[in-house]
Amino acid sequence: MKEEALQILVIEDNPGDFFLVNEYLEEAFPDGVIFQRDTLKEGIALLEKENIDVILLDLTLPDGMGISSFHKINSKFPRVPVIILTGLGATEIALESLKVGAQDFIVKDDSNPAVLAKSIKYGIERSKIYEHLKKSEEQYKFLFNNNPLPMFAFDLDAPRFIMVNEAAIEHYGYSEGEFLKMTIEDLDVKAESKNDNEDIYKPTFINCNTTIDLQHQKKSGEIVDVEMRTHEIIIEGRHACLAVIHDVTERNKAKEQLRESEQMFRTISENFPNGAVAILNKDFNILYIAGKEFHIKNVDATYFENTDYTTHFHSPVKEKVRNSLMKVFAGQNVVFEAKYEDLSYMISAVPLYETSGSINKILIASQNITEQKRNETEKELLIEELTQNNSDLRQFSYITSHNLRAPLSNLLGIIKLLDTTSITDPMTTLLLRNFEECTLQLNDTVNDLINVLIIKNNVNAKKEKLDIRKIFERVVHSVQNVIEQNNTTITTDFDHAYEVLFNRSYLESILLNLVTNAVKYSSPKRPPEIKLKTQKTPEGIILSFSDNGLGIDLERYKDRIFGLYQRFHDHADSKGLGLYIVNSQIRVMGGEIDVESEVDKGTTFNITFKN
Q: What pLDDT, on a 0 to 100 scale, did the predictor assign at position 254? A: 76
Class of domain 7-143: alpha beta
Residue 45: how many other CB atoms lie within 10 Å: 13
Long-range contacts, stretch 585-594, CB < 8 angstroms, 24+ apart: 585/455, 585/503, 585/506, 585/509, 585/510, 586/506, 586/510, 588/455, 588/456, 588/458, 588/459, 588/461, 588/506, 589/461, 589/463, 589/502, 589/503, 589/506, 591/502, 591/540, 593/562
> How far is the C-alpha of 321 from the C-alpha of 348, rounded, in Å?
11
Could you give the percent of the chain with pLDDT greater than 70?
85
Q: What pLDDT, on a 0 to 100 scale, did the predictor assign at position 449? A: 63
Range from 36-45, 455-464, 476-485 carrying the lowest mean pLDDT: 455-464
pLDDT digits (tens, 9 = 90+) for 402-461: 566 567 666 777 777 777 777 777 887 777 777 777 776 666 666 666 666 655 555 566
Residue 565, pLDDT > 70, answer: no
Residue 141, pLDDT > 60, answer: no
Half-sphere exposure of 18 (CA within 13 A, CB side): 17
> Which sign does the torsion angle of CA 297, 298, 304, 308 carry?
negative
Range from 144-158, 330-344, 560-574, 582-596 carrying the lowest mean pLDDT: 560-574
Q: What pLDDT, on a 0 to 100 scale, did the predictor assign at position 451? A: 62
Q: What pLDDT, on a 0 to 100 scale, did the predictor assign at position 436? A: 73
> How far is the C-alpha of 80 from the C-alpha of 51, rounded, in Å?
9
Same fold, 7-143 and 151-251: no
User: Torsions phi, psi of 105, nearest 5?
Assistant: -140, 150
Q: How confident is the model at residue 462 (pLDDT cuts 50, 70, 90)?
A: confident
Please state which CATH number belongs to domain 464-610: 3.30.565.10
Closest to 281 measured CA to CA, from 262, 301, 309, 260: 309
> How far is the C-alpha of 384 from the C-alpha of 231, rounded, in Å?
77
Residue 204, pLDDT > 60, answer: no
Range from 76-80, 97-101, 468-472, 567-571 carrying the lowest mean pLDDT: 567-571
Q: What pLDDT, on a 0 to 100 scale, did the predictor assign at position 195? A: 45
Q: What pLDDT, on a 0 to 100 scale, did the predictor assign at position 2? A: 47
Threshold 0.85, pTM exceeds: no
DSSP symbols for 113-136:
HHHHHHHHHHHHHHHHHHHHHHHH
> How far is the C-alpha of 111 from the C-alpha of 124, rounded, in Å?
18
Between helices 67-76 and 40-47, what is the axis angle to 10°?
A: 20
> How far is the C-alpha of 339 from the C-alpha of 571, rounded, in Å?
67
Instruction: Give Cα 94 to chain centroid, integer Å.
Output: 35
Half-sphere exposure of 16 (CA within 13 A, CB side): 2
Q: How confident is the model at residue 399 (pLDDT cuts 50, 70, 90)?
A: low
Amino acid at 351: P
Residue 577, pLDDT > 60, answer: yes
**Sheet harboring 104-107: ordered strands across?**
33-37, 7-11, 54-58, 82-86, 104-107
Q: What pLDDT, on a 0 to 100 scale, did the predictor assign at position 99? A: 78
Please state which CATH number belongs to domain 151-251: 3.30.450.20
Q: What pLDDT, on a 0 to 100 scale, did the predictor assign at position 196? A: 46
Q: Based on C-alpha coordinates, what's the Rg of the chain? A: 41
The answer to whether residues 92 and 43 touch, using CB atoms and an 8 Å cutoff, is no
Q: How confident is the model at residue 340 (pLDDT cuts 50, 70, 90)?
A: confident
Q: What pLDDT, on a 0 to 100 scale, did the predictor assign at position 434? A: 78
Residue 199, pLDDT > 50, answer: no
Q: What pLDDT, on a 0 to 100 scale, did the predictor assign at position 192? A: 53
Q: What pLDDT, on a 0 to 100 scale, did the predictor assign at position 444? A: 63
Range from 181-185, 355-359, 447-451 carrying the lowest mean pLDDT: 447-451
| CA-angle at 577, arms to 561 and 529, nearest 5° | 70
User: Torsions phi, psi of 179, nearest 5?
Assistant: -60, -45
Range from 202-216, 237-251, 296-310 carrying the lowest mean pLDDT: 202-216
Please state which CATH number belongs to domain 271-368: 3.30.450.20
Q: What pLDDT, on a 0 to 100 scale, did the predictor assign at position 572? A: 53
Q: What pLDDT, on a 0 to 100 scale, did the predictor assign at position 542? A: 93
- Rounded mean pLDDT, 339-346: 85
Do strands 602-610 and 540-547 pair parallel, antiparallel, or not at all (unpaired)?
Answer: antiparallel
Strand partners, 344: 339
Strand partners, 150: none
Range from 99-103, 524-528, 571-575 carrying the lowest mean pLDDT: 571-575
Structural element, H or E, at residue 337: strand 334-340
Report the chain's mean pLDDT, rounded to a whole number.
Answer: 82
Structural element, H or E, at residue 396: helix 370-417
Give strand ranges (E) for 50-155. 54-58, 60-61, 64-65, 82-86, 104-107, 151-155
Residue 144, pLDDT > 50, answer: yes
Range from 88-97, 240-249, 515-524 carrying the lowest mean pLDDT: 88-97
**Domain ranges across the chain:** 7-143, 151-251, 271-368, 375-453, 464-610
Could you give the percent of the chain with pLDDT greater than 90?
20
Q: What pLDDT, on a 0 to 100 scale, did the predictor assign at position 197? A: 45
- Rounded mean pLDDT, 339-358: 87
Strand partners, 7: 33
Residue 379, pLDDT > 60, answer: yes
Higher pLDDT pick, 264 / 577: 264
Q: Which 3 state secondary structure label does DSSP give 95?
A: helix
- Rounded mean pLDDT, 309-317: 87
